[in-house]
């Protein structure tokens, strides 16, 4: 059976929803914003979109579709880490006719110029994950953002006079504070190689977009710095995240 035949069979099978998403074909917009936290997805839907309809609550991974400035947009949580992002973004691309996914999340700064509250636009993603082994490539795959989305995000960030940085990020399987061997050495090496920040989901998203021949971009707000050890306050976090979300909505 060819890859096309397998995909056609799967699409038909999941037309009424998947084990992780109860949406039906047509419930989800062509562009989806994906914060890690499903409650943040709910808040975005309720406060920034109009004519909102919920399409998913399975596993409490909330998903909504509404309108923003005349554009139909969906927002859905991704959960934490590559496996969770991998599942949800793969299904959105493969079974629900989604063309663009814009991840909106927080990150830890790895270089001195990335200050708490700054926006990081992820051009590429490196990782310590084995996520790409599924493609059976004879080498290391380096996934990248969709250039047109990245270019649009830079334009909007400039127009809004935001402090932002464009460059590679490091997507780790480990939340560094809980690492069995906590050490500064690891993140310092990634920072030295030019990675602006660290998250846990960008690599899997960019891999899935490449495999599906779809578009993806990751926007991150720096919530803490590995250099200065500063952390964002709850109030500052909310204000900074809203700036990032508005950039995502403008390019959706």
Query: Does the annotation count 224 as an active-site position?
Result: yes
Provide the phi-psi class of 172: left if phi over 0, else alpha when psi is between -120 and 50, else beta: beta
Q: How far apart, in whole angstroms, are the C-alpha atoms of residue 168 and residue 191?
A: 10
Residue 138 DSSP label: S
From residue 149, alpha-carbon distances to 1, 20, 186, 218, 224 in Å are 35, 27, 30, 10, 25
**φ, ψ dihedrals at 172, nearest 5°:** -105, 150
Closest to 109 (Cα-Cα) out of 186, 206, 221, 205: 221
**Strands (E) located in the chain:** 31-34, 50-56, 63-68, 71-76, 100-109, 119-127, 164-171, 197-199, 215-225
Catalytic residue among 27, 118, 199, 224: 224
Catalytic residues, by residue number, are 224
């Amino acid at each position: 059976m060819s890859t096309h035949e397998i995909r056609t069979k799967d699409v038909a099978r999941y037309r009424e929803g998947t084990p992780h998403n109860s949406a039906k074909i047509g419930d989800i917009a062509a562009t989806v914003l994906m914060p890690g936290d499903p409650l943040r997805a709910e808040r975005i839907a309720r406060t920034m979109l109009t004519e909102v309809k919920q399409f998913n609550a399975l596993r409490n991974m909330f998903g909504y579709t509404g309108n923003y400035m005349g554009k139909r947009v969906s927002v859905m949580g991704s959960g934490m880490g590559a496996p969770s992002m991998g599942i949800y973004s793969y299904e959105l691309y493969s079974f629900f006719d989604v063309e663009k996914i814009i991840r909106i999340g927080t990150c830890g700064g790895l270089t001195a110029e990335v200050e708490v509250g700054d926006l990081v636009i992820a051009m590429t993603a490196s990782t310590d994950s084995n996520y790409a082994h599924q493609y059976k490539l004879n080498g290391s795959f380096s996934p990248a953002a969709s250039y047109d989305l990245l270019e649009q995000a830079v334009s909007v960030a400039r127009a809004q006079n935001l402090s932002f940085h464009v460059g590679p990020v490091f997507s780790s399987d480990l939340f560094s504070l809980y690492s069995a061997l906590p050490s500064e050495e690891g993140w310092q090496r990634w920072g030295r190689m030019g990675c602006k920040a660290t998250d846990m989901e960008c690599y899997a998203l960019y891999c899935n977009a490449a495999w599906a021949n779809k578009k993806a971009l990751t926007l991150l707000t720096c919530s803490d710095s590995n250099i200065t050890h500063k952390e964002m306050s709850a109030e500052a976090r909310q204000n900074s995240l809203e700036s990032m979300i508005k950039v995502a909505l403008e390019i959706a």
